[in-house]
Structure 1
């Protein structure tokens, strides 16, 4: 006579423990996966490169603004001679 409770452990249905057993199995396989780690590394590396680019741009921007105004003043003070 068959029992009312499924006692087969292969399917994880013994007294409702199957869902938690499957969750732990899924969590363990997720922890051992390394394919997403490469994506995270690239995101962090790209963010660092962009951050360094922004820092370099802000440092260069202040220097070029001052230099361009000095060049403008020098060129405006020069006279063009029409005779040699």
Structure 2
């Protein structure tokens, strides 16, 4: 007894026509660049957001330190001397 063999698909004009359409669609999908442009915009937008958040955090740290320094200065300084510096 011989082992069973795989039956090949029948080669008919209708089958070839479907394959040709599928190949054309695959080539059209591969050559389509609209998705690539969308990906470029998403990456660019993400980069802008990351840079903006980084700048905000850097500025926030610096401004908090400056506010603390001003607060300490105002607490430790004689207010009468600040109001009348020439005396």
TM norm structure 2? 0.63
Which blocks of at least 5 consecutive residues in structure 1 are unaligned?
8-12
| Residues 26-82 of structure 1 deviation map (CA, whole Å, 9 limit, x = unaligned) | 110011112222211111111111111112122222222111100111122344448
**What RMSD, in angstroms, separates the aligned Cα atoms of the two structures?**
2.7
Structure 1 CA distance for aligned equivalents of residues 70 and 79 of structure 2: 16
Once residues 37 and 44 of structure 2 are traced to their aligned partners in structure 1, the CA distance between those partners, rounded to angstroms, is 10
Higher relative contact order (CA 8 A, sep 6+): 1
Off by >2 Å, runs of 4+ in structure 1: 16-23, 76-84
Q: Distance in 2 between matches of 1:63 and 1:29?
A: 53
Q: TM-score, normalized by length of structure 1?
A: 0.65
> Which runs of no fewer than 5 residues in structure 2 stay unpaired?
1-10
